[in-house]
Structure 1
Amino acid sequence: MILMTCVIFFSFFFNQNLLYLIVIRKRDNAVNIYIYIYECRTPTYLLDLALFKPDDSCKVSKDEYLERAKKTGFFLESSIEFQKKVLDLSALGDETYAPPSMLTYPIDASQAAADKDADIAMFAVVDQIFATGIVKPEDVGILVVTCTVFCPVPSLASRVVNRYKLREDIEAYSLGGMGCSTGVLSISLCRDLLKVNKNTHALAVNLEVISGQQGYRGNKRRSMMVTNCLFRWGAAAILLSNKPGDKKKAKYQLMHVVRTHRGADDKSFNCVRSEEDEDGFKGLTLSKDIVPASAVALKTNVTKVAPLILPFTEKLKYVINLIARKVLKMQSMKAYVPDFKTGVDHFCIHPGGKAVIDGMMEHLKLSEWHIEPSRMTLHRWGNTSCSSIWYVLAYMEAKNRVRKGHILWQLALGSGFKCNTAIWKSLRNDQNGPSPNPWLDCIHKYPQPVWT
């Protein structure tokens, strides 16, 4: 009974993915206690991260964006003023990127243009992965491609298979319509597939296509026009492995994935929708319920993450506070909010917008230093949807912040409504390469005082 209690104690308070074997031996009137720790899961290693850096000809300043919006003839003067106000408050800089189809006169809304925009970004990051020589195309056994609003036929995953002549038995998936948190979701799917496909590599590709075909052309301002102002062009490719020998060359090991889906709640389900306005123009609608829906999803997710990452002392404080409030009925006592900084070194918060970052900072009680990578990513790249969290991670690497043994928490919100978390452990001090870091040519300019 005592032995079983000890095992449960260690498993709950220290790490739920480890098996603790406690052996008590009595020898010569002395009692010796031995603790053996075994890892229960199939490891998932991150070998490489490739990020898309578009050509400089695709840079769009805020002023240029407004000038192009005027020339389209789509928007009323009041709508242009609204977009200017959104951009002024957005914390976006003047070096974000738009795809070629958005930079033509008139805007090219054809299927061919959207296909080309997707191919440029998607193939650029996959090319980087294969150029390093870490893995050959025929060695990739799992492929997951994510993109929210652009879901062509054949699928994006099929286009990657065709381009690189990947093998016939590859497990290939395209995830669409699942929002900005799909970057973490793709890692979750890759991890699960790696559990049942031994000694293989998985490739996750995260992108968003904001081509002329997807842009909103109507004048419904507050609920549908905001996304035009915040979303920008970006993509990421993440190479994963479950091969034991790859740990020596890996950058990170995946420790936990926690997914929260609030789709059963009608308000959460409807707070982000793709629909047409009264004039028949299609776009993404953001309802007034998005803020409370985000808060509930975040709280639910964080509650599940806390036991996995917090040190024993923080867990003990939480339990004592809970007993005092619920059992001893000490109603005047406030609920204890754990200090997540005691268990996490770096926070990769999805830069979905200024309000999103500020809200995360307040809820998790983070410092300016912890939230800096997300703020600077929003300024430099804008909201690149499911690839955004990877630009945040690359900022930390470019600043040489990440050291061996550090814990990183990726946290993203998305339509549905979802909140997804991935916890990583750094396996080395030098995080440079193998693929080039897109921050390196401008990292000396950051951080910038862009938050007002």
Structure 2
Amino acid sequence: MDTKKNHFFHFLITHALYLFFIIPLLGALSAHYFFTLTALQDAILHTWHLLKLNLAPVLACTSFLVFLGKFYSKNRPRNAYLVDFACYKPKPELMCSTERYVERSRQENVFTEENLCFQKKVLERSGLGQKTYFPESIVGVPAKPCLEEARREAGMVIFACIDEVLEKTGVRAEEIGIVVVNSSLFGPTPSLSAMVVNHYKLVGSVKSYNLSGMGCSAGLVSIDLGKHLLKASPNCYALVVSTEIQTLNWYLGNDRSMLMSNCIFRLGGAAVLLSNRPSDRRRSKYQLMRTVRTHTGAHDNSYSCVWQEEDHDGRVGVALSKDLMAMAGDALKTNITTLGPLVLPMSEQLLFFLTLFARKVFKMKVKPYIPNFKLAFEHFCIHAGGKAVLNTIEKNLELSEWRMEPSRMTLYRFGNTSSSSLWYELAYIEAKGRIRKGDRTWQIAFGSGFKCNSAVWRALKNINPAMEKNPWMDEIHEFPVTI
């Protein structure tokens, strides 16, 4: 009964404008014009005679209005469409189970026995499955943590993703006008974006950007950058590539705050093709509705909670602070406070405001109202950063297991693939056949700095899984699994 009341309240508030204002107004206007139809006909005839007598000024005015219309049409903000995307699926021989990981770590003769046990415990409790991937430079014996191998890994992942998305969309490489590549920890010279330009022989006028040091949220930072670049470039394609190169970033030391990264980060990548061409709307999968970026780096604790440094033996690693979850929670709170008014129905905004007003003005001891984001979105893609991150967001946003499924299954099957994890999650939803025209999807990502970023997509058509090619398709019948 309470659920029915909530739905009735939501419907009433959301449609109040139509129920209490617009519909009665239209009825009154219709009645008025019905009884004054003759007067209206006389007015039209009178106006026509005036137009014939003042033809030149009317033509000049009409021409000016047409010019203004064309000028606005040419310069108005253009919608950004996601034509299609592709995720990298490594070769089976690169799978790394917990046992293989521990044995491979023991072969390095670097880690103490206590820290090998620590890593095994972390893996067993992390939510990762037995089929995640490491690059050959790490799982091979001996390991090859060198620049040449890192470039080889980057080329393997990035080119495979781009080849697939170009094949799926039928877009030629020379049609791409914007390239944005992000990889947080690997920033070679020439850059990874330059590597893409060289490999695909892109046009000399291509706008090329390379983002580094921005952590797992860099994928949505790149989408936001691509959106703004498309606004300034009519009839253009933007290629966004998100990945994290593991070869040079496997920590070979015994600082436990740095060993956490070894346990959860895995090989992966994604390529996304954006377009602002009106003709691409019909064949695109999604329209980008909103992007909201939150940066809490002005606070020292947030800035330093994910920190690359050398340990006491001089080995470089990424240390994760014990304050990480608290900083992520603060960033998420700020982000959804900004996003909420843009996406939530009026009923939820009203309840939130009334609760806040009661707490702040009347000092009433009532619980803070948590908006029901399930009324704003059909699907959630939450960065698969780790089991603790997903548990916290599930609790705070009061999400069901079904809505958390894409994130949990991505963490289980592919691990934390950094900035590309959101695209494996969206691919999971597509493979399950859950995307329907008009559905809204909320992507949430966290990253060093500290940042929390959101992107909201609206499906432009039903997604038929039988027509899809993505990394889940040959095994989607096995999911979800019990973790």
Query: What TM-score do the two structures reach when normalised by structure 2?
Result: 0.84
**1:132·1:435 contact (CA, 8 Å) conserved in 2?**
no
Deviation at 1:27, TM superposition (A): 5.6
Corresponding residue for residue 315 of structure 2:
281
**2:444·2:454 contact (CA, 8 Å) conserved in 1?**
yes
Corresponding residue for residue 207 of structure 2:
171
* CA distance in 2 between partners of 1:104 and 1:313 (Å): 57
Corresponding residue for residue 138 of structure 1:
174
* CA distance in 2 between partners of 1:109 and 1:152 (Å): 14
* CA distance in 2 between partners of 1:337 and 1:94 (Å): 36
Structure 1: stretches of 5+ with no match in the other structure: 1-12, 15-23, 33-37
Corresponding residue for residue 241 of structure 1:
275
* Segments of 4+ moved more than 3 angstroms: 24-32, 431-435
Q: Map Cα deviations across residues 348-383 of structure 1 (whole Å, 9 max, x no partner).
A: 000000001101111111011100110000000000
* 2:251 maps to 1:216: yes
Whichever residue aligns with residue 447 of structure 1, its letter is P
Whichever residue aligns with residue 335 of structure 1, its letter is P
* 2:322 maps to 1:320: no
**1:48·1:434 contact (CA, 8 Å) conserved in 2?**
no
Structure 2: stretches of 5+ with no match in the other structure: 1-13, 16-24, 35-72
The structure with the larger Rg is 2
Whichever residue aligns with residue 83 of structure 1, its letter is Q
RMSD between aligned alpha carbons?
A: 2.0
**1:50·1:435 contact (CA, 8 Å) conserved in 2?**
no
**2:87·2:424 contact (CA, 8 Å) conserved in 1?**
yes
Q: What are the equivalent positions in structure 2 for 1:24-103 lying under 5 Å apart?
A: 30=32, 41-103=77-139
Corresponding residue for residue 439 of structure 2:
406
Whichever residue aligns with residue 427 of structure 1, its letter is L
Secondary structure at the counterpart of residue 98 of structure 1? coil
Corresponding residue for residue 301 of structure 1:
335
Deviation at 1:431, TM superposition (A): 4.8
* CA distance in 2 between partners of 1:296 and 1:28 (Å): 53
**2:287·2:457 contact (CA, 8 Å) conserved in 1?**
yes
Corresponding residue for residue 403 of structure 2:
370
Deviation at 1:433, TM superposition (A): 8.5
* CA distance in 1 between partners of 2:363 and 2:166 (Å): 60
**Higher helix proportion (structure 1 or 2):** 2
* CA distance in 1 between partners of 2:30 and 2:260 (Å): 75
* CA distance in 2 between partners of 1:380 and 1:386 (Å): 16
**1:258·1:301 contact (CA, 8 Å) conserved in 2?**
yes
* CA distance in 1 between partners of 2:170 and 2:419 (Å): 24
Secondary structure at the counterpart of residue 302 of structure 1? helix
* 2:364 maps to 1:331: yes
Q: Map Cα deviations across residues 402-433 of structure 1 (whole Å, 9 max, x no partner).
A: 11100100001100000000000011112549
- Work out the number of aligned pairs and report it: 422
Corresponding residue for residue 45 of structure 2:
none
| The one of 150, 156, 170 aligned to 1:120 | 156
| The one of 242, 253, 262 aligned to 2:296 | 262
Whichever residue aligns with residue 99 of structure 1, its letter is P
Gap change, CA 1:364 and 1:331, over 3 Å in 2? same
Whichever residue aligns with residue 320 of structure 2, its letter is L
* CA distance in 1 between partners of 2:139 and 2:99 (Å): 14
* CA distance in 2 between partners of 1:353 and 1:109 (Å): 25
Whichever residue aligns with residue 448 of structure 2, its letter is S
Deviation at 1:131, TM superposition (A): 2.1
Gap change, CA 1:297 and 1:116, over 3 Å in 2? same
* CA distance in 1 between partners of 2:298 and 2:98 (Å): 38
Corresponding residue for residue 259 of structure 2:
225
Deviation at 1:331, TM superposition (A): 2.3
* 2:211 maps to 1:197: no
Whichever residue aligns with residue 109 of structure 1, its letter is P
Deviation at 1:322, TM superposition (A): 2.0
Secondary structure at the counterpart of residue 48 of structure 1? strand
Secondary structure at the counterpart of residue 135 of structure 1? coil
* 2:421 maps to 1:388: yes
Deviation at 1:41, TM superposition (A): 3.9
* 2:216 maps to 1:188: no
* 2:257 maps to 1:252: no
**2:84·2:169 contact (CA, 8 Å) conserved in 1?**
no
Secondary structure at the counterpart of residue 282 of structure 2? helix
Corresponding residue for residue 479 of structure 2:
446
* CA distance in 1 between partners of 2:464 and 2:290 (Å): 20
Corresponding residue for residue 7 of structure 1:
none
Deviation at 1:325, TM superposition (A): 2.0
Deviation at 1:29, TM superposition (A): 7.0
**1:399·1:443 contact (CA, 8 Å) conserved in 2?**
yes
Deviation at 1:317, TM superposition (A): 1.1
* CA distance in 2 between partners of 1:132 and 1:27 (Å): 52
**1:128·1:435 contact (CA, 8 Å) conserved in 2?**
no
Q: Map Cα deviations across residues 288-308 of structure 1 (whole Å, 9 max, x no partner).
A: 111111110010001111111
Gap change, CA 1:403 and 1:27, over 3 Å in 2? closer
Corresponding residue for residue 66 of structure 2:
none
Corresponding residue for residue 450 of structure 2:
417
Deviation at 1:133, TM superposition (A): 5.0
Corresponding residue for residue 190 of structure 2:
154
* CA distance in 2 between partners of 1:301 and 1:286 (Å): 22
- Out of 344-353 and 288-297, give the one that drifted further: 288-297
Q: Map Cα deviations across residues 149-183 of structure 1 (whole Å, 9 max, x no partner).
A: 10000000000000000010111101001000111
Deviation at 1:214, TM superposition (A): 1.4
**Higher strand proportion (structure 1 or 2):** 1
Q: Map Cα deviations across residues 179-203 of structure 1 (whole Å, 9 max, x no partner).
A: 0011111100000000000000000
Gap change, CA 1:27 and 1:69, over 3 Å in 2? closer
**2:431·2:468 contact (CA, 8 Å) conserved in 1?**
no
Query: What TM-score do the two structures reach when normalised by structure 1?
Result: 0.90
**2:180·2:240 contact (CA, 8 Å) conserved in 1?**
yes
- Out of 128-137 and 342-351, give the one that drifted further: 128-137
Q: Map Cα deviations across residues 300-328 of structure 1 (whole Å, 9 max, x no partner).
A: 0011111111111111111222222223x
